[in-house]
């Protein structure tokens, strides 16, 4: 297996969370930024200290829940610029994500 690019992925799997199995997004695989809660996964917001202190989320954010209900599978949690503050997507801790 290829090494994980930490500038792109905070976490990934096949899938991390499976969608509803039907709906307009059935069969679509996608990642969500690390500012959206994914149940049972920690929220880091692009900051390693924040991530280290984080507890697993008790529920999905409304956006993640809507994607899953529409049938999408969540296959990854993508890095974000630290606390989503940067206008150009830089992250001093993990590298600059290629998808600002």
Per-residue pLDDT, averaged over 52-75, amounts to: 98
- DSSP 8-state code for residue 57: B
Contact 32, 72 (CB under 8 A): no
Report the C-alpha gap between 50 and 38 in whole angstroms: 16
- For 45-57, how does the pLDDT look when each residue is reduced to its tens digit (9 = 90+)? 999 999 999 999 9
Q: Which of 7, 9, 3, 20 lies closest to 75, judged by CA? A: 9
Q: Is 11 exposed, middle or buried (0-12, 13-18, 19+ CB in 10 A)?
A: middle
Task: Record the pTM.
Answer: 0.87
Give me the helices (H) in 17-93, please.
Answer: 48-53, 62-69
- Interval 21-47: pLDDT, tens: 999 999 999 999 999 999 999 999 999
């Amino acid at each position: 297996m290829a090494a994980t690019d930490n500038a792109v992925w905070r976490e990934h799997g096949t899938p991390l969370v499976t969608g509803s199995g039907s709906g307009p997004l059935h069969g679509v695989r996608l990642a969500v930024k690390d500012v959206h809660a994914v149940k049972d996964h920690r929220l880091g917001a692009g900051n390693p200290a924040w991530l280290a202190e984080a507890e697993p989320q008790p529920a999905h954010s409304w956006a993640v829940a809507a994607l899953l209900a529409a049938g999408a599978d969540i296959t990854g949690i993508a890095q974000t610029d630290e606390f989503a503050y940067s206008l150009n997507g830089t992250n001093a801790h993990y590298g600059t994500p290629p998808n600002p």
